[in-house]
Amino acid sequence: MLRHLMNVLDFSVEELENLLSLAEEIYDRPGEFSDACHRKKLATCFYEPSTRTRLSFDSAMLNLGGQVLGFSSADSSSAAKGESVADTIRVISSYADICAMRHPKEGAPYVASLHSRIPVINAGDGGHNHPTQTLTDLMTIRKLKGGFSGLTIGLCGDLKFGRTVHSLVEAMVRYPDVHFIMISPDELRIPDYLRRDILDRNLIDYKEVGILEDVMPKLDLLYMTRVQRERFFNEEDYIRLKDSFILDSKKMKLARGDMLVLHPLPRVNEIATEVDDDPRAVYFKQAEFGVYVRMALILTLLKEMDR
Ligand code: CP
């Protein structure tokens, strides 16, 4: 059965738990999976820059004994000559067994999925969704916090354009007793649809604040985000807002001893490098987990094809 991943909500809670358990199994015993995708090929079609997502997909497929092909910018593909995403995926369906696609336009990987004969994974579409980052975040939280329920999560920075925040909130509200504190400048508050259709509709406890220091002692997790320069319409606004929140050692002193700091990376200026040595800073570990969760995802979607 052909199955794609556009949004983390494409997986039920039970399917998500199975996927995260598989990722942990692979993390614990990678050798057992080293040949699981022998003779299978992953196409990474990236129309927008990436370090972690593209290379962790490559690493995931290579770890599974498979092979990778693809392109890393629109300029180096026939998109530069005007080829549509629909035509591109029709062709790639003959070259690979599964495809991970990143695109600056919201919905482009979905359009690809409509014309594809192989599973398409949304590797980030504009300011919309980034489901494999969410899977990475969920694996990090589950592995390091033991689960999701009962957590108070601070989301800090660019909550308007930060697609990883939107996907994480949508995934987390499916678990009981989850609380959010949204920390952002006024101009970068969460989008209305998230407030109305996800948080309010699910009766989720949340508040929106403008000062990080005030809420640090209340948090189990602090999810920092970069101000997304590439999504701003004018540079002046970006420059004015980019350093609204900078997490440093002084602010970390206000936090609990077991509070974890996550960040999808890349970091620009929002976490001072002095925080990196704090054992509560787990963002590089988080990036490492991304390989294992993508291995689990590739295995799961390819297995579905055989059903
Ligand atoms: N977190 C993330 O998506 O990083 P890249 O943009 O480097 O892929």
- Span 224-269, pLDDT tens digits: 998 876 665 677 776 766 777 899 999 999 999 999 999 999 998 8
Residue-level pLDDT at 223 = 98
Hey, whose CA ends up nearest to atom 6 of ligand 1?
Answer: 50
User: What's the mean pLDDT when you consider all of the chain?
Assistant: 94
Question: Is there an atom of ligand 1 within 6 Å of 53 CB?
Answer: yes
Residues with a known catalytic role:
52-53, 81, 102, 130
Atom of ligand 1 nearest to the CA of 53: 8
Longest dimension (CA), the chain: 55
Residue-level pLDDT at 307 = 82
Vertex 93 angle, CA 90 and 99, to 5°: 110
Question: Is there an atom of ligand 1 within 6 Å of 109 CB?
Answer: no
Ranked by mean pLDDT, the top range of 153-157, 164-168, 240-244 is 153-157
Question: pLDDT grade, residue 124 (50/70/90)?
Answer: very high
Cα 306 to averaged position of ligand 1 atoms, centre (Å): 30
Q: What are the residues whose beta carbons fall under 8 Å from the beta carbon of 145, sequence distance 6 or more?
A: 151, 220, 221, 260
Question: pLDDT grade, residue 116 (50/70/90)?
Answer: very high
Hey, whose CA ends up nearest to atom 1 of ligand 1?
Answer: 264
Average pLDDT of the segment spanning 177-191:
93
Atom of ligand 1 nearest to the CA of 290: 1
Question: Is there an atom of ligand 1 within 6 Å of 264 CB?
Answer: yes
**Residues, the chain:** 307
Would the pLDDT of 88 be above 70?
A: yes
Question: Is there an atom of ligand 1 within 6 Å of 212 CB?
Answer: no
- Report the SS3 class of residue 99: strand
Q: Which two tokens stand for residue 241?
A: 């807002």
Cα 291 to Cα 129: distance, rounded to the nearest angstrom: 19
Question: Is there an atom of ligand 1 within 6 Å of 266 CB?
Answer: yes
Atom of ligand 1 nearest to the CA of 265: 1
The reply to whether the predicted model has a pTM over 0.75 is yes
